Structure 1
Amino acid sequence: MIKCIAIDDEPLALQQLELYVDKTPFIELVGTFESALEALVFLNDKAIDLMFVDIEMPNLNGMDFVKSLTNAPKIIFTTAYSQYAAEGFKVEALDYLLKPLDYATFLKSANKAKAYFERFKVDEENAGLNDRYLFLKSGFKMVRVAVDQINFIEGKGGYLKFHIEGSNPIMTLLSMKSVEEKLSPAKFMRVHRSYLVNLHKISLIERGQIVFGKVRINVSEQYKAKFQAYLDRNSMN
């Protein structure tokens, strides 16, 4: 399922997009916003795949908004103005739709997004995982990460958030299962449905929680015996 949001300062345009998304089985609308600034607050906490973005909006127009994002989702512009088309494709927009929209035009664009995610979804075949480093697709970039610098990996919905020593976290579209299968079990252990930790980076365990700075990770019942066995093998009692 492609998770998307829609941004448009015209309420009727948002209602139309919501109707079209509801008719399209492979897209889920998780938020609508009448300003880019509202959407920016949402994106600070949530990861999505796709944005339908109007361009001519007050305070912050859609084009400047997209350019301001470090790890932007894929973009489909929806606007009444054709003069931005070339600029839109410079920011690697998937499509540029002129209003008024009909459903056939919307569906064609939605299918283009579907084809993109089917082709470029990062999984175990193309993530470049190995014992020394991996390449993670984040927004428009492929970021090389040293495996030994990963503190832990956090599952967030359909995404993974890689917490890297000395760097900002990286959000990417991967399944926890695929990463767990590829990374060395001698270094990485699943301790919770949503957490895979680098055993070599653990320096403090307190009250049954693994502590990474301000983050405290609970070891769930499902993984407690395996983790305790690791501790027993490496403890001096």
Structure 2
Amino acid sequence: MTQASYPSLRDRAVLVTGGASGIGAAIVRGFVRNGARVAFLDIDRTSGEALAAGTGALFLPCDLTDTTALKTGVAEAAQRLGPVRVLVNNAANDQRHKVEEVTEADWDFSQDVNLRHQFFAVQAVLPGMREAGGGSIVNLSSVAWMFGAPDMVPYTTAKAAIVGLTRSLGAALGPHGIRVNAVAPGGVMTERQMRLWHTAETKANLLARQALRSELLEEHIADAVLFLGADDSRMITKQCLTVDGGLR
């Protein structure tokens, strides 16, 4: 299938968090394919270095739960590529816990890795994006909070909050020409998902719950992010786009 190309993304500085693998890596590859100048932050050095070598994107090792390190990474990306015009807050960790077993440390980690870094990444790119005349911010949510995944309460809480974050930031930053949207992926069976949580049987069961019976791929999520990052979506803000094949 031929994928859309977006001339407005050419030479535009793009920053992706959690871009070393899975959906994040597909997003990085998509922006590179469109001629953007791409940097990505990730804690996984091995995967990050491999992706950078294969795409030419700039990999900056970073623990996103360390806000000081996050701000340093954003500053380096802007110094080397120019003001960030597209920020994709993709990084996440969908740990499973029984409700009775969640500790305070589990809760805090989930909010830090799934929610907190999104706000502070926005805060870090804001001065340059505003000075550059505007931009686009895309926050990754999840359909897990919409149907209430019972063993993912800290995660679904954070992913639901991202929609509220998106709407408020869209209202706050719109006067500066900055759009803020969210994308909520469905059951994308990344390598990590299959290694940690799913089997061939559970994957087939998930596919059977989709209205569209084709496998949901990382690239399908990246396609939605590219559209929201490009000027083609210039009058879209404060929205959450669900990409789940009609999951029910």
TM-score by length of 2: 0.27
TM-score by length of 1: 0.28
Q: For CA contacts below 8 A with separation 6 or more, give which structure has more relative contact order.
A: 2
Return the structure number with greater strand share.
Answer: 1
Return the structure number with greater helix share.
Answer: 2
Larger Rg: 1
